[in-house]
Amino acid sequence: MKTYFRLLSFAKPIGKFAIPYIITTLLYVFFSTLNLALLMPLLQTLFSKPDKPGCDTVAATATTAKPHITDLAATFDYYTHYYIQHYGAWPTLQFVCGILVASVILGNFFRYLSQRIMENLRVHTLLNLRKAVFDNVMDLHLAYFNNERKGDIISKVASDVQVVQYSVTGTLQVIFKEPAQLIFFIVTLFAISAKLTFYSLLVIPVSAFIISRIVKRLKAQAIAAQQTYGNMISYLDEALSGIKIVKAFNASGFIKKRFNEENENYSRISRSMARRQQLASPTSETLGVAMIACIVLYGGYLILNHQSGNLTAAAFITYIGMFSQVTRPAKAISDSFSNIHSGIAAGERVLQLIDEKPQVVDAPDAVALDGFNEGIHFKDVSFAYGERQVLTHVNLTVQRGKTVALVGPSGGGKSTLMDLIPRFMDPKSGAVYIDDKDIKHVTAHSLRALMGTVNQESILFNDTIYNNIAFGKPEATKEEVEAAARIANAHNFILETENGYSTNIGDRGTKLSGGQRQRICIARAVLSNPPIMLLDEATSALDTESEKLVQDALNNLMKNRTSLIIAHRLSTIQNADIIVVLENGQIVEQGSHQELINNNGLYRKLIDMQTFSAD
C-alpha cells in the first residue's frame, strides 16, 4: 500500500478531481439502484388485478396503515395499490415507466460525468508521473547509463508508466464506486428482505476466498513480465543500432536466437498471467449464478411455506434481479486486485527510476558563473569506478586561451579527466576549479554554458540539418547558423543536399557521411560560441580526406578559445601549447611536442609506435 499511495501522490492536486467524482458517482449509484428497485412497482402494476377507481377497495387501502419507509417492499406495495385504486392500472403503469426512464437518464448522465472526471485524473496522473520519471532520467549521472540497458529505461518510461496509469487510477475508481454500489445494493436488499440478505451474505466470503487464491501470484508474474519486456526492448535497440556489425560478423542467427528466447519467455509469462486473470471472471460468474440459485431455493421455500412475511412475488423477483447485480461490483473489486498487482509491480520499477539519485547536483550555496578569465585547475584530483582507481592525485592547470592535449595509453584516465570539467561526474577527492571557484559550488547550468563538446561519436538527431546545428541555441538566426556552418567547413556540402539546411538527416544522421556528421557537430559547437572547447578524439573515426576537412574545422573552432583535446592520432596535436601524458591515472610527462620528444619518455615511444605503424 505504501507504493500505491506514493504513486497516487502524482495525482495531486487530487481534491479538484475527487470531490466532483464522489458527488457524481454517488448520484449515479443512487439512480442505478433505483432503476432496479422500480421493478417492484412495475411488476406489481402488471400482475395486480385492476380495480376501478372509486371502488370499495379504495376505502380499504385508505384504512391500511402506511408502512415505515425502511420496509421498502411494503412501501412500494402500498403506493402501487394506492395509485392503481385511485387512477387505474394503465395510468399507474405509465407513471412508473416514466419514473424508470427518468431514473435511467439521470443515472447515465452522472455516470458519464464521473467517468469524464476520472479520465481527467488518469491523464493528469500520467502526465505528472512520466514527467517526473523523464526529468530524473535526464538528471542522472553518466555512470548510471553505462550500467543500465537503454531498452529497460525506455520500457519503464513508456510501458510501465502506462500500466501504472490504468491499474492504479483505475483501481482508485473501483475502490470508491464499486463499494458504494455494493453498499447501496445491500442496503436495498435488506430493505426488501433482511432474512434473505443475511442468508445470501454467508455465501459471498466463499467467492472472495476462491478469487483471491486465483490472483495470488499475479504480482510476481507481473514483475517478471516487465523485466523480460525491458530485455526485449534492449535487444531490439542493440540490434537496430548495431545492424551493420551484426551483418558484417554474420551474427544474425545469434541475435535472432537471443531475441526470440526472450520473446518466448515473455509470451509464456503473459499466457500464465492471462490464464489467471481470465479464470477470475468465469469463476466469479459461476459462483454468482450458484449464489442466486441458492437464494431462489431458499426464498422459494419461504414463500411456498408462507414464511416470507411481507415478501411478495414482485418483491422476490426484484430481489433476485438486484442480487444478481451485486456480483458485478463484487467481481469488479476482485478483478481490481489482479490489476493492482500489475500496477504496483510496474510502479515499483518506475519509482526505482525516480529514486535513483543524481551523482551531480547543485550545492545549496551554488552560484552562477559570470565568466571565464584565468583557467581550469585540477588540484590533487582522484577518481575511481568502484574499486578501480582511474585518476590518482592529478594536478594540472589549463590557462585561458591555451590548447592542451591529453595523450597516453588506453585506460590512462584521459576521458575521465575531461568529464570532470563539465561535472559529468565528481572526483572522489580533490577539486576542479574554474578560475578560483570550485565547480562543486557553481550551478551546473552556468558551468556547462561555458563549454562546447565534440566527441568521437557524432551525436545527431532525426531532424533537419538546421535544427541539429541550432540544437544548443534554438533562438539562433538563419545567418548565425550559416556562419557557424562555414567555420565548420559544412556550408558547401549542406547546399548540395536535397533540401539544403531543411534536409532531414535520418536516425542518428545516417544520411550523411562520417565527416559530414562530425562537421555538423562542430558547427553546433561553433554556434554556441563557448570560451572552452572539449574535443574527445573528434577525428579518430574518419578517413584521411574527411579528417583533413574536420581538422581544419576544428582549428577554426579552437581559435581564441581554451581547448582540451584527446587525440588518438598524435600528429593532430603537435601544435598544442601543452601536451599532457597520462598513464595509469597519473601525469607522467607534460610539455610541448619538441620538449617531450627530447625527453625520450613515454610520449616519444607513442610517437615512434604510430610512425612505425604508418610506415
Per-residue model confidence (pLDDT) at position 398: 93
Is the pLDDT reported for residue 58 higher than 50? no
Q: Which residue has the cell 543536399?
A: 497
pTM greater than 0.85 (yes/no): no
Residue 172 cell numbers, joined? 482508485
Q: What percent of the chain has pLDDT over 90?
A: 15
Beta strands 586-591; 578-583: pairing state: antiparallel
3-state SS assignment for residue 574 = coil
For the chain, the structural domain boundaries read: 14-355, 375-614
Is the pLDDT reported for residue 340 higher than 60? yes
Per-residue model confidence (pLDDT) at position 269: 81
Instruction: Please give the average per-residue pLDDT across 49-71, as a whole number.
Output: 50
Per-residue model confidence (pLDDT) at position 439: 92
Instruction: Please give the average per-residue pLDDT across 76-85, as a whole number.
Output: 74
Is the pLDDT reported for residue 401 higher than 60? yes
Top pLDDT among 542 and 534 is at 534
Give the C-alpha separation, 88 to 102, whole Å: 22
- Quick: pLDDT tens for 271-290: 877 777 667 667 766 776 77
Residue 33 cell numbers, joined? 439502484
Top pLDDT among 328 and 256 is at 256
Mean pLDDT of the chain: 79
Per-residue model confidence (pLDDT) at position 113: 92
Is the pLDDT reported for residue 199 higher than 80? no
Per-residue model confidence (pLDDT) at position 59: 38
Of 212, 499, 518, nearest to 338 by C-alpha is 212
**pLDDT bucket at 391, cuts 50 / 70 / 90:** very high
Per-residue model confidence (pLDDT) at position 308: 61
Distances (CA, A) of 292 to 13, 310, 319, 320, 324: 43, 20, 10, 7, 7
Instruction: Please give the average per-residue pLDDT across 562-580, as a whole number.
Output: 85
Is the pLDDT reported for residue 54 higher than 60? no
Per-residue b or e along 162-201, where b marks 16 or more CB atoms closer than 10 Å to that residue's CB: ebbbebbbbbbbbebbbebbbebbbebbbbbbeebbeebe
The CATH number that domain 375-614 falls under is 3.40.50.300
The highest-confidence range among 83-87, 305-309, 546-550, by mean pLDDT, is: 83-87
Amino acid, res. 315? A
Instruction: Please give the average per-residue pLDDT across 522-551, as a whole number.
Output: 76
510, 512, 515, 518 alpha-carbon torsion, rounded to 10°? -70
Per-residue model confidence (pLDDT) at position 159: 74
Per-residue model confidence (pLDDT) at position 590: 93
The highest-confidence range among 61-70, 73-82, 121-130, by mean pLDDT, is: 121-130
- Quick: pLDDT tens for 228-257: 877 787 777 777 766 756 766 567 787 888
Is the pLDDT reported for residue 11 higher than 90? no
Instruction: Please give the average per-residue pLDDT across 181-201, as a whole number.
Output: 79
Is the pLDDT reported for residue 532 higher than 50? yes
Q: Which residue has the cell 542467427?
A: 253
Give the C-alpha separation, 250 to 302, whole Å: 80
Q: What residues form DSSP beta bridges with 433? A: 377, 438
**pLDDT bucket at 122, cuts 50 / 70 / 90:** confident
Is the pLDDT reported for residue 63 higher than 50? no
Give 323's Cβ-side CA count (13 Å radius).
31
**pLDDT bucket at 539, cuts 50 / 70 / 90:** low
The CATH number that domain 14-355 falls under is 1.20.1560.10
- Quick: pLDDT tens for 427-471: 999 999 999 899 999 998 889 888 888 877 777 888 899 998 988
Distances (CA, A) of 594 to 566, 570, 590, 607: 18, 13, 11, 12
Per-residue model confidence (pLDDT) at position 582: 93
Neighbours of 44 (CB within 10 A): 24
Q: Which residue has the cell 523480460?
A: 228
Neighbours of 448 (CB within 10 A): 18
Q: What percent of the chain has pLDDT over 70?
A: 79
